[in-house]
Structure 1
Amino acid sequence: MRLLPIAVALGIAAATISSSGGTQVLDAQLNPQSLTWQKAGEAALAAGNFQAADDALETALVLDPRNRGAFVALARVAQRQKLYGQAIRMTAKALALEPNDTVALGVQGEAMVEQGAVARAQQNLAKIRQLCGAKPCAPATSLAAAIQRGPALAVKSETPTAPKKN
């Protein structure tokens, strides 16, 4: 008699747990329309049409907010527009969905280099190299080159002018 309430509680818990998973969509199954809009956005980016790329990628995210590729592509749009802080934020959203996304880590690291956060970019590079292992990895190669090159933002030094003669 004492075990009856425990058995009933465990039975209800098991029934609840098993029924909740049946309605969830797997993370690997993204909305096909979202993927179509993502490809359109990437094509617009390749053509240099940043506004169309941004619009298409935002549409992709409205259709499926789990689309990491759209976040990374938006980060690339931001990078091309020299909006490095926005690029870092977009890749952070992709990394919130999948912390081991080497492409997102690479794009984020490149934006960090442009912001002057080279030490943080090197942490991203170390993580990418750990995830890739011994095999060659394009994000690691690209980020290592960006770190080696350094920020592209050229700080113009003012040249002193000759004193005026009165």
Structure 2
Amino acid sequence: MSIALVLLTLLFPSRPIFSAALPSTVAHLSPRTVAFVSAPLVPKRLPRRLPTYTVTATIYEPDPRQTDSEPFITADNSRIRRKHSSKDRWMALSRDLLKKWGGDFDYGDSVLVTGISPKLDGVYVIHDTMNRRHRHCMDILAAKWEHLDEMWKGVKIMKVEPRWRAS
């Protein structure tokens, strides 16, 4: 016997267990047949329709003239790779659209973007914030060597709900 088991036995002695007979009503129960009825079909719930916003989209590059003194660090402290491109699918939103300032979006949210071009439409992740002078705008992170257009009006953005989220 281990020392711990001896100590536990001394500290917590076992109590006598009294066995009681079952009441006569319980002892004489006989099984009965149960009919299973199928539950009514519940209609499938339609997915919640998320709000769509119409914004102006622009391109930005991690350049101190377009950002701040640390252009390769975003507002949510993510680091932009030195050899990045628009294929990274990162974006910045104007402050009026971010939760921190009363909007519906937050850093790390996935956003479906449509209305730019077939090459640039798709799902982007919010990592940055635009200057406070901008309203209803978004910036797509791109590299200097891509030479993309500079501005698109009437672009639609909608938050994409994650299929699952780690806890």
Question: TM-score when scaled to structure 2?
Answer: 0.23
- Which structure's residues are more often strand, by fraction? 2
Question: TM-score when scaled to structure 1?
Answer: 0.23
User: Considering only CA atoms, is the larger Rg found in Structure 1 or Structure 2?
Assistant: 2
- Which structure's residues are more often helix, by fraction? 1
